[in-house]
């Protein structure tokens, strides 16, 4: 539709039709066009269902085509619906959780994974995905860390932008493209105590320096929607924060697309205590710039009266409706209301062999080898037994994989039996996934209780371990222990799994742990008893095949941690790019008293950001700089020579960090400013070079001006955030 025609349509709409466009309803409200119990209880009317602009979490080409046809036929202006859903790390073909995808340090691979998810979701009729989540996270207690790219602003920005490109392509009208909704704006990943939905307290400098850049990267990549966050920021809930949405997002970042609230966030303005009643909540949200109200009755039940009594200007309504209609137009829905929904395509695209292969490749690149003493990995194939609750479990998809079917997932046990090399390998469960007295709360449905004779299972595991050359122990947190509303106060593995670890380690020292998790955990017991630890996260549909390929050496692990693993829970939040403090500490925990340290644990995480081993080894030469001085118009070439000093072909991620030694405000000890993946054969070397510009040195100065300051800088190039391989240069005028 031409813009002039869209403007005419907007002017023709009644107030009721306009308000309808601002409403999103959950799929369970729609029952052949009639009000269901929950809808009526919340105050929605038949008219609200008839005029709604969007529904969410309904899938299936046949169902959505029928619904769209019936809806448009009865709508006064035949405006099509927007169908939205949470497609987080895949639709039916599930990829690793986003936190794991970030460990690939490969934006192109992440973009490709999002494109696969878009093609599958589009074939089932979805127009919009609530992804990417660009929330920076430094506290592993927060359950939604699994949806993030971790603790670093630079890496998070690259991953968020890659996902936007993968979902949307260059033209939303193209087949297999869906609109991306960036979330959660802003600061959602920094709740006090790591507790979901909790208060966020960030200085404006920290917000701008650390938390906003990844959102900005997604906006610059062209994301079509932005979702508000649940939390307060400066004690104002994001869904009513005019400064955040209109000043920062729209004016400073230049975002022109549609803003949608998170689930029921507008009604929660009453619980936050900033709205006295639903009418005030509607006024505050629309004033702040929230275009669409997700599932709450706030807009539906209050906007008409607010307009008619003059408290809400029609201009606010028209601005929001225009953004929603414009999105529908960019998707091509006025000409093709079904877009890509196609029952035949669903049968060929969903879970295709090609998609499964891409999911397997992504999973393999996301695995992080944390430890490999005595080169216990890779296996020869028949020299190990497999023990643990994850040895046979198909629960390898993240909790947000709400449209996946676990029966489509390849478990490790299934992969073992498929492979001629390992089909006779013994497998034992050993223990339950969770402690019986503390099962996780189901994300969507109550979880069935695990049934197992604990003593018999443990005895069988010990018997197998005692007679084996090596033991592969498959441990981890249940997938329901991470995700939304899954904050944890203790990052330890379940006691039943630690008991199994102790019992097996007591009879066999050649212990390999394969770890499945949705967040960083306290791995001290594993590091003390296991010679090898392979971190596999929640790897998705092809997880079992990817894990087995890696254990057998067909895939050489190359993942790098996108988030530090703490020494223990009491250490979080922990991140590599911290400030130095006036009393920095690098000694042992018992060496002196008056420094910024703990008395009982080290400051450093157990495994830091950017860390990850390989089945081969690499060395970096000293850093060389093309110049000792940088000006605002010049560049410096910083380079190292990377050499594969091992016996296998492998891939290393070379990382560039910069430290500003002196500024008008305290600066981080180092910040990631570049990375590149390099694959080398044994004995092969390659120069790896980065270009340093003045723009990379900018920060929010004392005056809050975003600019660089002249002075000395250290540049570090190496294989993780701890590298001391560096050189110094000076920024001059």
Enzyme catalytic residues: 262
Per the rule left: phi > 0, alpha: psi between -120 and 50, beta: everything else, 431 is beta
Between CA 24 and CA 34 the distance in angstroms is 16
Residues 6+ apart with CB under 8 A from 315: none
Residues 6+ apart with CB under 8 A from 286: 299, 303, 312, 316, 317, 320
DSSP conformation class of 389: T
At residue 83, the 3 state secondary structure works out as: strand
At residue 27, the 3 state secondary structure works out as: helix
Structure tokens at 387: 């023990």
DSSP conformation class of 251: I
Structure tokens at 164: 């936007």
DSSP-assigned states of every residue in 480-506: GGSSTT---S--SPPHHHHHHHHHHHH
DSSP-assigned states of every residue in 185-213: ETTTT--GGG-TT--B---HHHIIIIIHH
Q: Are 212 and 248 in contact (CB under 8 A)?
A: yes
Between CA 523 and CA 489 the distance in angstroms is 15
Separation of CA 672 from chain center = 19
Looking up tokens 């990417």 gives 132
Structure tokens at 31: 């029952």
Surface-to-core class of residue 32, CB atoms within 10 Å of its CB (0-12 exposed, 13-18 middle, 19+ buried): exposed
Between CA 101 and CA 108 the distance in angstroms is 11
Between CA 424 and CA 416 the distance in angstroms is 8
Q: How far apart are the first and last CA of the chain?
A: 52
Structure tokens at 280: 């005030």
DSSP-assigned states of every residue in 131-170: --B------TTSGGGGGS--S-HHHHHHHHHHHHHHHHTT
Closest to 539 in 3D by CA, of 5, 69, 113: 113
Closest to 158 in 3D by CA, of 716, 719, 675: 675
- Secondary-structure percent of the chain, ordered helix, strand, coil, rounded to 5: 35, 20, 45
Q: Are 308 and 337 in contact (CB under 8 A)?
A: no
Which H or E run contains 6?
A: helix 3-12
Structure tokens at 567: 């020494």
Distance set, CA 271 to CA 38, 195, 274, 288, 645 (Å): 20, 17, 8, 18, 60
Q: Are 548 and 415 in contact (CB under 8 A)?
A: yes
Q: Are 120 and 355 in contact (CB under 8 A)?
A: yes
Q: Is there a cis peptide before residue 439, judged by omega within 30 degrees of 0? A: no
Surface-to-core class of residue 277, CB atoms within 10 Å of its CB (0-12 exposed, 13-18 middle, 19+ buried): exposed
Q: How many C-beta neighbours within 10 Å does residue 588 have?
A: 9
Which H or E run contains 422?
A: none
Structure tokens at 342: 């196609």
């Amino acid at each position: 539709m031409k813009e002039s025609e869209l403007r005419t349509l907007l002017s023709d709409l009644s107030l009721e039709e306009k308000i309808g466009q601002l409403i999103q309803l959950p799929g369970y409200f729609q029952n052949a066009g009639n009000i269901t119990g929950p809808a009526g209880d919340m105050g929605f009317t038949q008219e609200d269902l008839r005029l709604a602009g969007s529904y969410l979490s309904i899938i299936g080409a046949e169902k959505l085509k029928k619904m769209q046809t019936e809806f448009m036929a009865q709508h006064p202006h035949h405006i099509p619906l927007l169908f939205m859903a949470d497609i987080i790390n895949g639709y039916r073909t599930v990829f690793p959780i986003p936190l794991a995808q970030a460990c690939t340090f490969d934006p192109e691979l992440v973009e490709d994974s999002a494109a696969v998810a878009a093609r599958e979701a589009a074939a089932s009729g979805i127009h919009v995905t609530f992804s990417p989540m660009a929330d920076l996270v430094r506290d592993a207690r927060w359950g939604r860390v699994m949806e993030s790219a971790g603790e670093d602003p630079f890496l998070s920005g690259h991953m968020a932008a890659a996902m936007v490109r993968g979902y949307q392509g260059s033209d939303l009208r193209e087949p297999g493209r869906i609109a991306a909704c960036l979330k959660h704006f802003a600061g959602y990943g920094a709740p006090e105590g790591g507790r979901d939905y909790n208060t966020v307290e960030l200085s404006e400098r920290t917000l701008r320096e650390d938390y906003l850049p990844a959102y900005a990267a997604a906006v610059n990549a062209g994301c079509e929607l932005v979702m508000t966050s649940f939390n307060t920021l400066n004690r104002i809930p994001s869904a009513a924060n005019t400064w955040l949405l209109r000043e920062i997002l729209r004016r400073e970042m230049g975002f022109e697309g549609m803003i949608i609230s998170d689930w029921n966030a507008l009604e929660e303005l009453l619980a936050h205590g900033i709205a006295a009643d639903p009418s005030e909540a509607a006024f505050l949200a629309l004033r702040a710039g929230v275009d669409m109200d997700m599932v709450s009755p706030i807009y539906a039940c209050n906007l008409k009266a607010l307009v008619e009594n003059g408290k809400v200007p029609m201009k606010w309504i028209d601005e929001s409706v225009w953004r929603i209609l414009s999105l529908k137009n960019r998707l091509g829905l006025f000409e093709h209301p079904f877009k890509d929904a196609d029952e035949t395509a669903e049968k060929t695209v969903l879970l295709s062999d090609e998609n499964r292969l891409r999911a397997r490749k992504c999973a393999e690149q996301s695995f992080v080898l944390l430890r490999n003493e005595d080169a216990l990995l890779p296996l020869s194939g028949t020299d190990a037994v497999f023990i643990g609750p994850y040895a046979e479990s198909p629960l390898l998809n993240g909790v947000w994989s709400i449209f996946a079917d676990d029966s489509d997932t390849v478990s490790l046990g299934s992969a073992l039996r498929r492979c001629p090399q390992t089909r006779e390998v013994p497998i034992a469960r050993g223990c339950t996934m969770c402690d019986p007295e503390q099962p996780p709360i189901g994300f969507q449905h109550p979880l069935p209780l695990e049934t197992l004779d604990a003593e018999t299972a443990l005895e069988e595991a010990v018997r197998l371990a005692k007679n084996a050359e090596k033991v592969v122990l498959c441990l981890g947190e249940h997938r329901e222990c991470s995700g939304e509303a899954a904050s944890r106060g203790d990052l330890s593995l379940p006691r039943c799994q630690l008991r199994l670890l102790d019992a097996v380690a007591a009879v066999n020292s050649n212990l390999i742990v394969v770890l499945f998790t949705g967040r960083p955990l306290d791995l001290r017991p594993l590091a003390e008893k296991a010679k090898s630890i392979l971190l596999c996260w929640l790897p998705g549909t092809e997880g079992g095949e990817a894990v087995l390929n890696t254990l057998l050496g067909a895939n050489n692990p190359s993942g790098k941690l996108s988030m530090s693993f703490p020494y223990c829970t009491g250490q979080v939040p922990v991140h590599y790019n911290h400030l130095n403090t006036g009393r920095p500490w690098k000694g042992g925990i018992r060496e002196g008293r008056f420094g910024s340290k703990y008395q009982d644990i080290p400051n450093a995480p157990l495994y830091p950001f950017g860390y990850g081993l390989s089945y081969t080894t690499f060395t970096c030469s000293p850093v060389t700089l093309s110049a000792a001085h940088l000006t605002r118009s010049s560049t410096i070439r910083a380079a190292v020579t990377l050499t594969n000093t091992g016996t296998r072909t492998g891939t290393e991620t070379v990382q560039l960090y910069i430290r500003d030694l002196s500024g008008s405000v305290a600066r981080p000890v180092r910040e990631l400013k570049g990375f590149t993946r390099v694959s080398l054969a044994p004995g092969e070397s390659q120069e790896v070079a980065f270009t340093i510009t003045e723009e990379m040195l900018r920060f929010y100065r004392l005056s809050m001006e975003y600019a660089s300051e002249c002075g000395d800088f250290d540049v570090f190039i190496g294989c993780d955030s701890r590298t001391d391989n560096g050189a110094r240069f000076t920024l001059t005028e």
